Structure 1
Amino acid sequence: MMALTKVSWRAMGALGVAASLFAAGWAANGWRMGAKIVQLEAAQAKEREGRAGALAAASEAARAEEQRRTAEQRGIANAAAKERDQAQADARAAGAIAEQLRVRVAQLAADARAAGNSGAAGGSAAAGDPLDVLTDVLSRADARAGHLAEYADRARVAGLACERSYDALTPAAQ
């Protein structure tokens, strides 16, 4: 039995040494893997920080572009309002001058009638005075031209403002 005990103790000793070596190897491998995990986690954290910084920079650039566009649109709207006001003032001035001319033409027609223009052929009662008819037609044509000019001015101001707004919204690099 003694031989069996000696073999057992030797086997047990060898098994103990093997187990110790295995445990030491396991621990060393764990430390090595732990260091790799720490390195990978650090690399991932650095990558996340980089992505967060890029996202913040992109967000800031988008915010700055939006502020630029908004300021540009506000400036265009203000300029268009000033142009519209100037066009309306010009239209009012032209209308006042046209009204003065209509009054002057009416005075001239009244003076001509009062002078008794004997050279004019007598027309029927329904036809009226040719000078009155001409004065009325010219007055209405002038008034219509004034309305069309006001409409054209408004359309021009709106079109130019729209064009400038579009240009302001497109990137400056194009």
Structure 2
Amino acid sequence: MAIVALVLSYGVGRVQQHSSDTNVFQAERNKAALDAARAQLKAVDEARVEGRRRTVEISEIANEATQQVVIARADARAAGAAADKLRARVEQLVATGRAAGNPTVAGASPSQPGGDPLDVLVDVLRRTDGAAGELGEYADNLKTAGLACERSYGALTQGRWEEASRNM
């Protein structure tokens, strides 16, 4: 009988120990799962904050680029207006010279090829000024777009470089 009691008490002890071990293992597993869930929530929150930061920075860059384009176009219009005044003044001087009967200003003689040199000069001035204005506007737009692109790229990659340097 003593052996049976000893075996029974050993069996009951093993069952209790197994139950205790199972409870400890389950608690550790629950704690690990809870820690992983917290870490995942933290990572999601950090990603949201970084996404918002990037979106705000990209929007600011786009707004600044738009303002720079507006300023460049206003400057181009002002330069165009000044060029128009200059062309009008040149045409006025040519007309005044012709009206005065000045043969040097009045133009070429019929024997000279190419027509009136002043008309040619005015035409060349008009064409070069127009082409320069178009090229200037194109260059301003390219510069603004390029700078905005560089800043946008920097805003998007800034977080990655900082994160990579923290993980090193």
TM-score, normalised to structure 1, is 0.85
State the partner residue of 2:46.
Answer: 61
1:128 Cα deviation from its structure 2 partner: 2.0
Structure 2 counterpart of 1:71, from 33, 50, 56 = 56
Shift of 1:43: 0.5
Aligned to 2:80: 95
In the other structure, the counterpart of 2:15 is 30
In the TM superposition, residue 110 of structure 1 has moved relative to its aligned partner by 1.0
Give CA-to-partner distance per residue, 1:112-160, whole Å, 9 cap, x none: 1112223465134873211111111111100110000000000011011
Counterpart CA distance in 2 for 1:121 and 1:73 is: 60
1:47 to 32, 39, 53: 32
- Note the alpha carbon deviations across 1:7-38, whole angstroms, 9 max, x for none: xxxxxxxxx54333322211110001110110
Which residue type is aligned with residue 98 of structure 1?
A: A
The question of 1:152 aligning with 2:139 is answered yes
Distance 1:118 1:125 in 2: 13
Q: Where does the alignment leave 5 or more consecutive residues of structure 2 unmatched?
A: none
Alignment: residue pair count = 159
Paired residue type of 1:78: N
Could you tell me how far apart the structure 1 residues matched to 2:122 and 2:32 are?
85
Counterparts of 1:124 and 1:59 in 2: how far apart (Å)? 85
> What corresponds to 1:83 in structure 2?
68
RMSD: 1.7
Larger Rg: 1
AA at the equivalent of 1:117: N
How far apart, in 1, do the equivalents of 2:132 and 2:22 lie? 84
TM-score by length of 2: 0.88
Pair 121,83 (structure 1): closer, same or farther in 2 beyond 3 Å = closer
